[in-house]
Structure formats: C-alpha cells, structure tokens
A and B are shown apart, each in its own frame.
Chain A
Amino acid sequence: MTLKRQSVIPPARLLAVVGGLIFMANCGGSSSTSITTTPPPPTTNNSVDLAVNLGPTDDYINGLFASVEVCEPGSTTNCATVPNVLVDTGSYGLRLLSGAVSGLTLPAVTDSGGNAVQECIGFVSLAYIWGPVVQADVHLSGETASSASIHIISETPQYPVPSSCIPTGPVGTPEALNSVSTLGANGILGVGGFPQDCGSLCTDTSTAPPQYYSCPSGNCNITAVPKTATKGQVWNPVALFSTDNNGVLISFPSSIAAGGAATAAGSLIFGIGTQTNNALGSAQIYGVSDQAYFTTTYNGTQYSDSFIDSGSNAYYFLDSGTLGGLECADNTGWYCPAAPLSFTVTNTGTNGTSGSLTFSIENFDNLYPTGYAAFNDIGGDSGNSLSTDYFDFGVPFFYGRNVFVGIAGQTVTGVSNVPYGFWAY
C-alpha cells in the first residue's frame, strides 16, 4: 500500500482538437488532416509503460506487464500500487490477486438480494479464477475509473468454487489460477473491445451463464448483475474514464530481432484519436463480430474465428498436421521448423476492410533455452484440423506495431460501421 499519489488532472476537454480534425473514411482506412487550433487544451497523461520480461515467476514468455494503482473509492491515501499486471486485449476488466490489495478495504458489489457478488471466470485452458466483485478507484497514468467494479482473485476463497463454473467438473480439475505462481502475474488488466465482461446475458438469471454468483447461507447460485457503470458487472476500466475512453493503443515502436530479446518495452495508451499520441494515422480499421472475431484467409481457406490478443503469448494458428509435422520435440504444442518459415495471410474485418501481413516462425526448441522473454516469431497449434483451426495473433504481432482496440459502442472520430468495436493497425 502506498500513501502517496500523484494528483489527477481534471478531465480534459478535447473537443477543440477533435473538432479540428477532418477525417475522410474510405474502405475502413482513414486519412486525416490536422488543423491546429490554439491554445491547446490541458492534456491528461494517458500512457502507461509496458514491460516484457519473465515476470514475477521468472518464466513468462511474451507477457505484457504494467503497474496499476487501485484506491478505496474516493480515497487518495488508501491505495495500493500493483506491479506485474498482465495487459490483455482478449478480456474485459481488472482482476487482481487478493494478496495484492490485502491492505485495502474495498466495498462489495451486491446483487438485488443484498448478497455479495462473486465471479468465476474460465479460460480456454480450462483453468479458472474465482472471488468477489468489489468497488475501487482504478488509476492508470492520469486516467481514473471511479468506483469501478473489479474482480478479486481469492487466494483463500471465502466460498468453495461452484462446480457449475468449472468446465471439467470438480474432480481432477485443472488448477485454479489463484496465486502469483499459477497466474504468473499479480492480476489481469482486460482492455479488450467490450465495456463489460459479460453484457446483457448476465442481467437476468433466465439467460445468465455460470459467471456471476451470490452465496446466501454459503450456497453459491447464479445471480443477475446489471451492466451499470458502478455497482454492476466488472467493467473494462478504460470505458469508465472521463476522457480517452473509446479504446486503447498498444505501441511497440521497435521490432524484435530474430532470435528474440531479453526484454522489450512498449506503451499502453488510452483513447483513440483523442490526443496527439493516439492518432489512427495510416492504420486500417477492422470491424469485429459480436464475439470479437474477424476472418483470416490463408492458402485460400477462410478462418472466421480469428482474433488479435495481447493475452496470448504467441501466434497460435493452423496445426502441425496441416503444416506437415512442425511439432517440437521438446516443447509440446509449439512449432519447430528446421529453418524460419514465413506466412502471408489476409485479414478481413466485418466492415469489409482487408489487408495482408506476413510473419515468421522459428524453432521454439532452439529459442526457449536462451531464457529470453520477448520473441516475435514463435507459434503453435490453434486446432487439430482445418475445420477447428483459426489464427490468434498474440503478443509477437504487437512488436514493431501500433495496434488499436476500439471499444464497442464508443465513438471514434472517422470510424463507423463497427457496432462491436474494432482492431486497427
């Protein structure tokens, strides 16, 4: 817990600058002409450092780590700065290990019955996290999400995790990611393209999936939680900022050389087209589906469940069978070509934008022993055959790029026809 805190600059009004930009949208791309108006409005610090290193467990490859400050609602002194939080564009909302905020008293979010709301989040790995939803002021650079609902990952749960939320059932379950050693981080900062982590389904028990629970008398049952900005579902904190709240830019100006790098550095910048450091520039806009997918075409086959995800630590695509036996000898699930392999694919957004890109894959068994944390050319299977494969553009995709994530329902000047948000690069 820290007792000092930087002062928060009041919300900057950027209408003058936004109004001075003329955007011409065509085919999803946009070009802009800037007409400077004077004087420039006061700007909010909207940039957080991203570090790629092996993380607190000294074994994390391609993890984007940032520091997050959380305070008791309304307090400027009862705060904790939590380092080593993973920045994840594949999820929505801030989740912190209970030990990282143990010095704070954070009020519970309750359901209509007055019972504290608990949440269970499953991963594609079938591991899960479980714990209460609480309110906190979330500070990221000069931006604040006031009284935001955040998820506390219980290291010693108050209630046993309900079996209905563990896909593999209560016997022989995969581990709960409820410690630094199992999570590899102190938490997850979900800054993907939705405002909430569930949405309308969770607002009614007749449609709610096994995600939000309350536990009167110790028995946990699925409960309804509204989408309200406070005292409701867990929100992507960016969508709660008073400015720079329409998305994020993840910027890694330098690419990583073949063979990897010990570490890498980048920035998580809030807002899109709201300040001089987050202009779309020449980036192409790719609209996403209602489940945040777009289509990747490779060798004439379309993979419609493809996506960009800073929470995935590699390119996960195709499968070793399709690729003619690229499976590594030592590291199962990774690709090990004898010489670097190049792949050229075309991504197509729901708004019709299409563009090609090329990436390379090197031998993971050779790279892994370097002990480096940053690799721009590692990959593994996404499925088992053409019908289950897709392209997951993980952290290597972000190196040497500016990647924007537009939040569904928010306005970005010059961008239209993307009801479920977008990626731009």
Chain B
Amino acid sequence: MKTMARVLLILTLGAAPAWAVLGEYESSVSLDTKFMRGEDRVTSAQGYKLHQITSPAGAVVTEYVSPEGKVFGVSWRAPVTPNLEKLLGSYITPVQQAAQAQTRRRGGPFIVRASDLIFVSGGHMRGFHGSAYVPSLLPKNVSAEVVR
C-alpha cells in the first residue's frame, strides 16, 4: 500500500507541469521549497517580490516574482550547484545545449545568452553561485540587475 502511494505520488508530480519555476506561476515556488526541504522567506521590493529559500544543505535559492505572479528570475548560492532542471524548467534546454558546446574556456564561469534566457554559473568548489532570468518576463521598470 505504501509502495502504491509512492508510485501515485511520483506519477502525480511527474505529470505536473509546474514542477519547475522559472516562467511559471508563483505557486510553483512551494514545490522548490519542498524539494529543497527549505524554509521560504518572502520579501517585497520595488516592482517585484522575492522568495528566498534556505535549505539545511547550505543552499540559498532566490526566486523573483513579477506583479503578474510569474517567476521571472532565479538565483542561487550554495556549496554545490542546485538542481537547475527543477529551477529552470523548460528554460533548461538552451543551458544544456550551450553546456555541450563549451570550448577553450577551462575552469571559468559559464554564461549563456539565449534568445529568451540569460544564464550565469560561477564560483568554485564549496562556493557556487549563479542566476537566470527571462528578459521578456521582466516587470516594467525593474532592471535585470536585481537578479543576482
């Protein structure tokens, strides 16, 4: 019975389109909070809202929400890079493609400038950080610089 419940849970989550957050509605933040076993702290800024999720594993993920209720950016600071597939959702594709095409830059930061995604990954062992945002989802009068 317990196994059955687990299978159902996996099926349900697997089918949910809002498992990932970037570009999704604010409600999807709670799924990340659950995945990270973290605590969510919400603060307001001029023209947008921030969810800051802190996990017991030392990761801090910040999600930036527009007045329309959509996540337009995410950032992280953690001992290891968090699961970006879950954080970026469908926006992971240009990152995966760019990751395979890297050349000659060795050990340095990783930057992706795709048509509708700006992504940076930086730092070093025991101290990773990065961010991603969707330019077309940036709220009016909010600079992309806030996603950091």
Contact = CB atoms under 8 A, between A and B. Distances in A.
A92 B107 contact: no
Interface stretch (A5-13, A201-209, A347-355): A201-209
A207 B59 CA distance: 10
B81 A126 contact: yes
Interface stretch (A237-245, A252-260, A384-392): A384-392
Contacts of A390: 109, 122
Contact of A206 (B56, B83, B106): B56
Contact of B99 (A60, A174, A194, A316): A174
A406 to B, nearest CB: 16
B107 A312 contact: yes
B108 A92 contact: no
Interface stretch (A152-160, A267-275, A375-383): A375-383
Given A126-B99, A292-B126, A382-B122, A169 B108 contact: no
Contacts of B113: 384
B57 to A, nearest CB: 4
B127 interface: yes
A115 B57 CA distance: 22
Interface of B: 56-59, 78-86, 92-93, 95-97, 99-100, 102-111, 113, 118, 120-131, 144-148
28 contacts: A59-B104, A90-B107, A90-B125, A92-B125, A121-B125, A122-B128, A124-B128, A125-B99, A125-B107, A165-B80, A168-B99, A169-B85, A171-B96, A172-B93, A173-B99, A175-B100, A192-B124, A201-B58, A292-B126, A305-B123, A309-B124, A312-B108, A313-B106, A333-B104, A382-B122, A383-B109, A384-B111, A384-B113
Given A167-B81, A192-B125, 6 more contacts: A124-B121, A125-B99, A209-B78, A210-B80, A292-B124, A293-B127
Interface of A: 59-63, 88, 90-92, 121-127, 164-165, 167-169, 171-175, 184, 190, 192, 194, 197-199, 201, 206-211, 291-293, 305, 307, 309, 311-314, 316, 319, 331, 333-334, 368, 380-388, 390, 392, 394
